[in-house]
Amino acid sequence: MKTYSKQSVVSYGQIGIIGLESSRELCEKINNYLIGQRINTDHTNSVQKSFLIPVKEIRFSNGEGKIVLEDTVRGKDIYIICDVGNYSCTYEMHGFKNHKSPDDHFQDIKRVLSALGGKAKKNNCNHATFVF
Q: Please give the chain's pLDDT, 132 residues, in tens.
A: 556 555 555 566 678 899 999 999 999 999 999 888 877 776 556 667 899 999 999 999 888 999 999 998 887 888 999 999 999 999 888 889 999 999 999 999 999 988 888 655 555 443 444 444
Structural domains of the chain in order of their starting residue, each with its CATH number: 11-131 (3.40.50)
- Residues in a beta bridge with 49: none
* Residue 27 CB coordination number (10 Å): 21
Question: CA separation (Å) from 61 to 2, 31, 36, 90, 106?
Answer: 48, 33, 41, 13, 19
Burial 102-118 (b: 16+ CB within 10 A, else e): eebbeebbebbbeebee
